[in-house]
Every structure is written in structure tokens, then in C-alpha cells.
Chain A
Amino acid sequence: DAGVIQSPRHEVTEMGQEVTLRCKPISGHNSLFWYRQTMMRGLELLIYFNNNVPIDDSGMPEDRFSAKMPNASFSTLKIQPSEPRDSAVYFCASSLMGAAVTGELFFGEGSRLTVL
């Protein structure tokens, strides 16, 4: 299995620009999670989907952030407009959930975002 695939691995952009991060989960997994990792705040859960439906987006920092999952094999996290404080590593993870019990998460290698 190819694992969770994220793109781009690195992105450098200027403040105000739109950023789109992409994720392909493991085939057959029914839940997808977006996390953000910084030195100061650690790993923060931004949003998660179950069967392509957003279940909890309470971690999304503000309206500049949006996430979609149009089908079971693709998700995007968009930041518009981007700000320097959005600089972080963004991780996508997928899992096979059952009966609302959290199982093992499989993480991608992350997208390192730098906003100048």
C-alpha cells in the first residue's frame, strides 16, 4: 500500500496568497484527519471527516481555513488568504473507524508551509 500521500511536501508563499494542500488517504479507510504541528502548540486537530462528511471542524482556526473531501480518495485544506502565523507542518491522516471508536491513524509525511 502506498500509504497516505500529501502534496506539496514544501510550500513557500507570500502573505495574502491562497494555499491549497492535498491529501490522498489509504484506500478503504473511512475517516480522514487534518492536523497542524508547530513548536509552540504541538499537534492540533483542525478537522476530521467520516465517510467524506465533515464531523468536527471546531479546530479550524478561522474562516480563512476551509477543508473539503469531494470523494473517498481525496481531500484538500485551503488557506485564503495566508498569513505568516499559518506557517507550520500540516499533516493528513486516515483511519478505518468502527462504532465511533478511534483506531490507529496512518499519517502522511506532511506539508511544510512557510508564509513570508
Chain B
Amino acid sequence: SQQGEEDPQALSIQEGENATMNCSYKTSINNLQWYRQNSGRGLVHLILIRSNEREKHSGRLRVTLDTSKKSSSLLITASRAADTASYFCATDAQGGSEKLVFGKGTKLTVNP
């Protein structure tokens, strides 16, 4: 299976701290995406990084991709209570597949 696996499963930090979540996957990919899900809501796209990119920034988000290790990390800097959510990585499969397969997510709690 190409499913990504996030690590840790749960993370609890204080407001203002940085949060780092990791994702590992098994097959070669075209791109890797990170999504956020607030409790009881749908998933929301955060950032997409292509297989030929190594790092990408969007506001307080920083994503890295290491294709040799088949891993990615999502860093949220200066976290806020509103960042409390589950975060998922999703990968497609190199070779033309349009399927996007999600990991089981990291549940982040930011305490005020």
C-alpha cells in the first residue's frame, strides 16, 4: 500500500511552541499534500509539495520532502489554540494514478 503514515499519532503542546509532524510513505510519488481537519468538519488543503521540491513555505507552515527516505514533515511555527486539529498527509502514486491516499493523521492539541 502507498498509504502514508503520520507520526506521532497525537501531539500536545503549549501555545507559541512549534509543532512538527512527520509522514512516511512507501511508493514513488508525483506530489505529497498536507490537509487539516477540525473536529466534525471536512478536510482542508494546506500545502502541496512536488517530488522535485525539497521545501515549501506557506505562512506559518513549512513542509519538507525527502524522496530518498520517502518522508515528509510539516512544521507549524508559533502555534495557536486555533491550530488544534488533525493533520493528514496524502500521496498519489507516480505513474499517472489520480488516487490520493491519506494516512491516519496526527491529532494536534495546542493548549492556551
Interface presence of B33 (CB below 8 A): yes
Interface presence of A105 (CB below 8 A): yes
Q: Which of A45, A50, A109, A110 contacts B100 (CB 8 A)?
A: A45
The secondary-structure label for the interface of chain A is strand
Contacts of A106 in B (CB 8 A): 45
In the assembled complex, how far is the CB of residue B44 from the closest CB belonging to chain A, in whole angstroms? 7
**Which chain B residue shows the least CB distance to A39?**
B104
Q: Please tell me the number of chain A residues within 8 Å of chain B, measured between CB atoms.
A: 25
In the complex, the answer to whether B98 meets A102 with C-beta atoms within 8 Å is yes
In the assembled complex, how far is the CB of residue B79 from the closest CB belonging to chain A, in whole angstroms? 23
Q: A55 CA to B97 CA in the complex, in Å? A: 10
Given contacts A45-B100, A45-B101, contact A102 B31 (CB under 8 A): yes
Q: A31 CA to B100 CA in the complex, in Å? A: 12
In the complex, the answer to whether A42 meets B98 with C-beta atoms within 8 Å is no
Interface presence of B88 (CB below 8 A): yes
What are some 12 contacts across the A-B interface (CB < 8 A)? A31-B98, A33-B100, A43-B88, A56-B98, A93-B42, A97-B98, A100-B98, A101-B98, A102-B31, A105-B45, A108-B42, A109-B41
